[in-house]
């Protein structure tokens, strides 16, 4: 019985990690402001993210997280990206840059 419980915990943990690094899951909350295809200005103010290069997106997101990037939306974006690891930011950046 203990082995079954351990296996269950390991499987649930692995699935949680996979979901935590899934681009669609990571960008779900972004779509509310940026649009499902990232083609609109967030709250009518931001730059359109669609069409940006992955490196450019990652740099901006890391800057928002550090509080060193952004204008009027700096505080909002810092809160949105605060819980993302650098790896997750890279996943998000590559995903958005790959949208057509």
What are the extents of the domains in the chain?
Answer: 23-97
Q: What percent of the chain has pLDDT over 70?
A: 80
In CATH, what class is 23-97?
Answer: mainly alpha
pLDDT of residue 64: 95
Cβ–Cβ < 8 Å for 99, 37: yes
35-55 burial by CB neighbour count: b if 16+ within 10 A, else e? eeebebebeeebeebeebebe
Question: Which token pair is 49?
Answer: 């993210």
Residue bearing the bigger pLDDT, 13 or 51 = 51
Residue bearing the bigger pLDDT, 69 or 4 = 69
- Listed in order, strand segments (DSSP E) in the chain are none
Cβ–Cβ < 8 Å for 96, 50: yes
pLDDT of residue 90: 97
The model scores a pTM over 0.85? no
pLDDT over 70 (residue 28): yes
Cβ–Cβ < 8 Å for 48, 37: no
């Amino acid at each position: 019985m203990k082995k079954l419980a351990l296996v269950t915990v390991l499987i649930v943990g692995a699935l949680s990690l996979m979901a935590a690094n899934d681009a669609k899951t990571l960008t779900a909350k972004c779509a509310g402001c940026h649009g499902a295809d990232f083609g609109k200005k967030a709250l009518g103010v931001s730059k359109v993210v669609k069409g940006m290069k992955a490196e450019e997106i990652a740099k901006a997101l890391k800057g928002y997280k550090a509080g060193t990037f952004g204008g009027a939306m700096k505080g909002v974006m810092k809160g949105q990206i605060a819980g993302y690891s650098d790896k997750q930011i890279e996943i998000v950046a590559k995903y958005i840059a790959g949208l057509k």
